[in-house]
Structure 1
Amino acid sequence: MLSLLVTSIFWTTEKGIHAGEVIVRLRCLRILIKRTVHGSVPSDNCFYTDLLEYKMMRMERIFIFFTTFTTLFFTNGVSGDYPKAQNVSWLSINFKTLLLWDPEPTNYSYTIEFSVIGQNRKKNQHCIRTMETECDLSNSLMDLKAIYSADVLSKPLLGVNSDLIEFPHTRSERFTPYNDTLIGRPEFKIEVSKDKRKITLYVEDPLTALFNEHNQQRTIRDVFADELQYKVTFGKATNTGKKTKISASSEIELDRRDVDPGVSYCFNVQAYIPSRSTDKQLGKLSQRQCSPGDDKSVFEEYGIGVIATFILLIIMIVVAAIVVTVVCCKRRKNANRSGKEGVPLRSV
């Protein structure tokens, strides 16, 4: 057996067998020599058992390497073929709610999944394998006070199959329609009382993207009820001073405590929801509108300061014109004198 093992070692070396097998056979040779010296019976299975163990280990390593390589290859391939969405954000005005993201897809598509936190995810039928970079979820977020999140999944084009189990995806920030939608700018009308001591603003509650059971469009008053207030910023048309007033009603009255009789005032109105976080309490500012004022004298309308400045400007212009005229006349006279002195006298 010993001579057979030695012969096998040299034969494997000559034939170029893998070095690991040679090492196994050398280890067996050492064991056989040791057992022979101590009078023990050599095991005929030493070589074959260790060699089989080595080959099993080698096959296992090859399998692990192949599995790891395959996983990395397909993972890198997926990331390259189906890039993750970026800049995922919510845009919501008057409950018209869009999910936005980048970039525009090429050779792949996007699918949107959304859910209330802690519940099963759902899909919007208009945002499956889409080539767009926005998804309208206005009619999907029915519970306005629930907390939602959404995922933008990068998937192959419609009709193209993939072996991937999990696709690259990007998750949005949490969103609650009732607390996070921006209230748009309101429209309003101005009415001045006959005695000109009171100004009334009639604010039109902005419409939302929501509908009731009768398919009628709901206003922000329908949604927020008593939580909705309006903030009015106003001041005299002739100066920059500003005042503010908060009203729980869409009909806002300003009396002599707020305005002077017969004076023209300019107004801006915006929705105000005090139950929200500070940075989301105010809606968009309305366009500026001014009330009519009484017919006033020039001094009352523009003020003494403005009129004095205007008069001073006129005086300066007149003085400048006079100075220029005088200087021109003097130069002309001097030129005429010089011309006469240069002419010789005629002989008598």
Structure 2
Amino acid sequence: MASLKSVLSLGVCLSAWIITIAAQNSLPQAQNVHWVSLDFKTILTWTTEGSDLTYTVLYSWDKTDWLESADCIQMLDTECDLTHNLQPYDRTYTADIQTEHEMPESDYPLEELSHVYSPQFNPYKESNISAANFTVEKVNKSTVIISITDPLTSIHERGKQLSIREILKSDLHYKIIYYKSGSTGKREVTSDSSKVEVSQLDPGQSYCFMVAAYIPSRPKTTQHGAWSRQRCTPGSNDTLQEWSLGAWVGVVFILITVFIITVTVTILCCKCCRQRNKTLQTTQSSAPI
């Protein structure tokens, strides 16, 4: 009798386990899991083919215990803002997306939920950096100062919104590309400062500038931020000083040609007038009195 009860108990447990596994396998898993991060605002996104599902997101770093994101517990959305969870920034994080029915019939143990793990992500090394604003100030005929405004992040500390420099500190550099207007040749300057002096420019020429954040300590794929829109300086108003020898030769040739044509036309007009006057005088003298 005891053995029969044992067999029945084993059968019940086995049936429950099979039902649990079947329920787990019937849950659509999160797909296309990836990180979207700009200026250290970091969002985990995914897609799903199911409906009436909720998601809970946990995160961990360096194989530590999993922590729940307080804003991403049993939610219906398919994205989770982990910006304020991924600190310190220079750590490698992994997220776990747990899927369950919106109205579960029972509480499944954690290990029996549908799990999908994200790729690893390090905000400090992988967050994209947006384009910086900058101004160009002329110092003299051959030198300008580029003043760059560090992009702001979504991070606030003590009521202050932090810039990327306050996070990246000495790792932040800027690259400046500039070229003479109308020319294809480009020059490049790298600086660890937000104020950069660019010298040895040709006086009177118009130059165009573009800047981008540059973090050489990062992997090559994420070293550069987005490039800014270009800003161009005006050329000199004294265009006569900028003319080449060929231009001057052309101008002189045109002036000489115009002079010759003018003189020729004037001479011809004078001859015509004299001829006309002479004809009139001859006609008048031959007329009967």
| TM-score over 0.5 for the pair | yes
Stretches of structure 2 lacking an aligned partner (at least 5 in a row)? 251-289
Match status 1:240 vs 2:153: no
Distance in 1 (alpha carbons) for counterparts of 2:168 and 2:136: 24
Distance in 2 (alpha carbons) for counterparts of 1:128 and 1:196: 61
Between the two proteins, what is the percent identity of the paired residues?
32
Task: Give the aligned partner of residue 231 of structure 1.
Answer: 175
Task: Give the aligned partner of residue 115 of structure 1.
Answer: 60
Structure with higher helix content: 1
Distance in 2 (alpha carbons) for counterparts of 1:116 and 1:74: 30
Stretches of structure 1 lacking an aligned partner (at least 5 in a row)? 1-51, 309-348
1:70 deviates by 5.0
Task: Give the aligned partner of residue 127 of structure 2.
Answer: 181
Q: Give CA-to-partner distance per residue, 1:23-60, whole Å, 9 cap, x none.
A: xxxxxxxxxxxxxxxxxxxxxxxxxxxxx9xxx79x96
Task: Give the aligned partner of residue 166 of structure 2.
Answer: 222
Task: Give the aligned partner of residue 134 of structure 1.
Answer: 79
Over aligned residue pairs, what C-alpha RMSD do you find?
2.9
SS of the equivalent of 1:71 reads: helix
Q: After alignment, is 100-109 or 65-74 more displaced?
A: 65-74
CA contact (8 A) 1:88 1:102 kept: yes
Distance in 1 (alpha carbons) for counterparts of 2:189 and 2:130: 19
Q: Do the aligned partners of residues 263 and 118 (structure 1) sit closer, same or farther apart at CA in structure 2, a change above 3 Å counting?
A: same
1:301 deviates by 8.5
Which residue among 167, 171, 192 is the counterpart of 2:117? 171
Q: Do the aligned partners of residues 211 and 102 (structure 1) sit closer, same or farther apart at CA in structure 2, a change above 3 Å counting?
A: same
Task: Give the aligned partner of residue 231 of structure 2.
Answer: 289
1:49-128 pair list within 5 angstroms: 71-80=17-26, 82-103=27-48, 105-128=50-73
1:296 deviates by 5.7
Structure with higher strand content: 2
1:222 deviates by 0.9
Q: Do the aligned partners of residues 199 and 106 (structure 1) sit closer, same or farther apart at CA in structure 2, a change above 3 Å counting?
A: same
1:164 deviates by 2.5
Distance in 2 (alpha carbons) for counterparts of 1:287 and 1:235: 14
Count matched residues: 244
Which residue among 144, 149, 169 is the counterpart of 1:204? 149
Q: After alignment, is 132-141 or 119-128 more displaced?
A: 119-128
Amino acid at match of 2:95: A
1:76 deviates by 2.6
1:77 deviates by 2.8
SS of the equivalent of 2:124 reads: helix
Q: Give CA-to-partner distance per residue, 1:109-145, whole Å, 9 cap, x none.
A: 1110112222221112221111111111111112111
Q: Do the aligned partners of residues 65 and 218 (structure 1) sit closer, same or farther apart at CA in structure 2, a change above 3 Å counting?
A: same
CA contact (8 A) 2:28 2:48 kept: no
Distance in 2 (alpha carbons) for counterparts of 1:161 and 1:191: 68
Q: Give the TM-score normalised by the residue count of structure 2.
A: 0.76
Amino acid at match of 1:181: S
CA contact (8 A) 2:28 2:49 kept: no
Distance in 1 (alpha carbons) for counterparts of 2:141 and 2:240: 20
CA contact (8 A) 1:156 1:162 kept: no
Distance in 1 (alpha carbons) for counterparts of 2:236 and 2:96: 60
SS of the equivalent of 1:173 reads: coil
CA contact (8 A) 2:133 2:149 kept: yes
SS of the equivalent of 1:75 reads: helix
Task: Give the aligned partner of residue 333 of structure 1.
Answer: none
Match status 1:162 vs 2:83: no
Distance in 2 (alpha carbons) for counterparts of 1:293 and 1:272: 29
1:105 deviates by 4.8
Distance in 1 (alpha carbons) for counterparts of 2:70 and 2:29: 21
SS of the equivalent of 2:71 reads: helix
Task: Give the aligned partner of residue 33 of structure 1.
Answer: none
Query: Larger C-alpha radius of gyration, 1 or 2?
Result: 1
